[in-house]
């Protein structure tokens, strides 16, 4: 899965915020709130690899790579 960087999410958010100021629609507000949630929950992954099975996971959020 391709992830956005935090900077890319913030850029998208700023454009959606602007779009909501111009045209308030349910879809614009939903997307703006979803992007804000992604920014709030963004993890700068710190990978740890298990030496037994060579599976990497983030020690902050637990996502597996």
In tens, the pLDDT along 10-44 reads 999 998 888 888 888 898 889 999 999 999 999 99
CA–CA dist 4, 14 (Å, integer): 15
Question: Looking at 1-65, which runs of residues are DSSP E strands?
Answer: 47-49, 56-58
Question: Mean per-residue pLDDT for 44-60?
Answer: 92
Cα→Cα distances 52→58, 62, 64, Å: 16, 17, 15
Q: Is 59 a residue whose pLDDT tops 50?
A: yes
């Amino acid at each position: 899965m391709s992830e956005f960087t935090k900077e890319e999410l913030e850029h998208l958010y700023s454009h959606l915020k602007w779009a909501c100021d111009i045209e308030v629609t349910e879809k614009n507000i939903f997307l703006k709130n979803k992007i804000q949630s992604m920014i709030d929950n963004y993890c700068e992954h710190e990978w740890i690899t298990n030496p037994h099975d060579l599976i990497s996971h983030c020690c902050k959020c637990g996502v597996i790579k």
